[in-house]
Amino acid sequence: MSEASRKQTPSQTVGPYFAYGLTAQQYHYPLGQIADGAMAPETAAERIRITGRVFDGKGQIVPDALIEFWQADAAGRYGARAGFGRQGTGTDAEGRFVFDTIKPGAAVGAAPFVTLVVFMRGLLSHVYTRLYFSDGEAANAADPVLATVPAERRATLIAKRESTANGVAYRFDIHMQGENETVFFDL
């Protein structure tokens, strides 16, 4: 094949049966898994748990979504693998995804955030969104990407901080449609 200009291979849906291929251990199939919801530990950083559910246009919980996390370390650096996590929404009794990770650092002038990649049956092309943190109001107000989002929709990108017996947790629900439709980015 020559080194000539070529066109992108089209996306197709992840479908309903990804579990044994992409998240085999989470769903108890006999195959390894490249990443899960327990993201690489980094002892110096603040440990957090991020949970959420995915809702369709009728407000029903989506039990077959695949969520991927990509984030910076506590110093705002992007590493080779440590910042990547992956979970399906089909194993939790409440239909949640659960990521145990660290609070990411941020670039100067920007707020900390996590990039989410969302796949599911019914999505022919995956979508991207961002998760910001509710306890960073000043940083969020100054963030250049949040500034591009219509003010009335910014709340869909803010994970709500909750204190639990096990530490700090954030809740981030994803609404594919409806009044609170999550902001998705073309990146």
Partner 1 sequence: MINAPVTKRDWSAHPPLLYPPYASTVLRAPTKPLIPLAHGLAETTGPVFGHESVAKLDGDLTKNGRRNGEPLGERIVVTGRVLDEDGRPVRGALIEVWQANAAGRYVHKVDQHDAPLDPNFLGAGRCVTDENGAYKFYTIKPGAYPWGNHYNAWRPNHIHFSLFGASIAARLVTQMYFPGDPLLGLDPIYQGTPEGARERLISQFSIDVTEPSFCLGYVFDIVLRGRNETPFEGARS
Considering only the stretches 7-15, 91-99, 134-142, 165-173, report the one whose residues sit in contact with partner 1 under the rule CB under 8 A: 7-15
Query: In the 8-state DSSP scheme, what is residue 44?
Result: T
| Beta carbon nearer to partner 1, 64 or 100 | 64
CA gyration radius, the chain: 17
Chain positions 11 to 70 lying near partner 1, rule: CB under 8 A, are: 11-22, 24, 27, 29-32, 34-35, 56-58, 60, 62, 64, 68, 70
State the nearest-atom distance from the C-beta of 50 to partner 1, in Å. 16
Is residue 117 at the binding interface for partner 1, with CB under 8 A as the rule? yes
- 39 CB contacts (<8 Å, ≥6 apart)? 69, 82, 83, 84, 85, 99, 100, 101, 102
- Tokens for 41, please give them: 């530990």
If one asks whether residue 84 binds partner 1 (CB under 8 A), the answer comes out as yes
Supply the minimum distance, in Å, between the C-beta of residue 94 and partner 1. 18
155 binds partner 1 per the rule CB under 8 A = no
- Residues shown for the chain: 187
Is 139 near partner 1 (CB under 8 A)? no
Give 134's contacts (C-beta < 8 A, 6+ positions apart).
Answer: 158, 159, 160, 161, 170
**Shortest CB 166 distance to partner 1, Å:** 27
